[in-house]
Amino acid sequence: MSVQLGMAIDLKRCVGCHTCAVACKIENNLPDGNWWNRTTTEGGDAQDTPSGVYPNLKREYITLACQHCANPACVRACPVGATYKREEDGVVFQDYEKCIGCRMCIAACPYTGVRQYNWEEPKHAMDYAVGDADVPAHQKHTVEKCTLCAHRLARGEEPACINACPADARHFGDLHDLTSEVAQLIVQREYRQLLTDKGTEPSIYYLV
């Protein structure tokens, strides 16, 4: 059976500390303004605010990045195949060299804001590049997003956000391998996925 890499993110363990988002930002040397992975508050009116009415309040965090869908809307939409699904591991990949900057994929992706366009020459807070040396250079006027740290996968490592999580809420592996930790968690725990009604079959599972 084919490999489909994915994540199981335990919302009961997530404390909303943003460490995964920052780990991603540094690992991939993301330009200013770009966040491939974000910690967002669900339900409240603003970040870090609870939902509900006092005293029945609830504060929940959800981390959002590319869902590496089994049926990705973006791949079908890209006119030049700059975004494609890798056969070997199911990662939805983005080729900066090919991207013509038409932003069709941004329009096609139902997951709000996970695809990000470099609206100018990438700028960085640091004068020097940070993160992994194998990360491809960011390019002006191209679309980018989470690659599941493809450069780390190539070395047999997990994405940077997984180990960075201090609450041990993030799990990574092959969803199709029923012996893997992620597949087991999905079997044992209740979970939800984002926007299942869009039929994209996301590979990110949120354990609730």
User: What is the contact surface with another protein in residues (CB under 8 A)?
Assistant: 33, 38-42, 44-47, 49, 62, 64, 73, 75-81, 98-104, 106-113, 115-117, 119-121, 140-142, 194-195, 198-200
Decide: residue 97, CB within 10 A, 0-12 exposed, 13-18 middle, 19+ buried.
Answer: exposed
| Residue of 63, 48, 60, 59 lying closest to 8 (CA atoms) | 63
| Nearest distance from C-beta of residue 123 to another protein, angstroms | 10
Which CB, 79 or 156, lies closer to another protein? 79
| Nearest distance from C-beta of residue 122 to another protein, angstroms | 10
Q: Which residues are paired to 40 by β-bridges? A: 62
SS in 3 state form for 106-131?
HHHCCCCCCCEECCCCCCCCCCCCCC
| Nearest distance from C-beta of residue 186 to another protein, angstroms | 21
| Nearest distance from C-beta of residue 109 to another protein, angstroms | 6
Rounded to whole angstroms, how far apart are CA atoms 188 and 166? 22
| Nearest distance from C-beta of residue 161 to another protein, angstroms | 17
Which CB, 26 or 194, lies closer to another protein? 194
Which CB, 11 or 184, lies closer to another protein? 11
Which CB, 82 or 162, lies closer to another protein? 82
DSSP summary character for residue 86: -
Which CB, 190 or 197, lies closer to another protein? 197
Torsion, Cα 106 108 110 111, to 10 degrees, reads: -30
| Nearest distance from C-beta of residue 135 to another protein, angstroms | 20
| Residue of 59, 68, 143 lying closest to 98 (CA atoms) | 143
Distances (CA, A) of 178 to 1, 30, 128, 161: 11, 34, 42, 23
Which CB, 110 or 136, lies closer to another protein? 110
Specify the DSSP element, H or E, that contains 182: helix 181-188
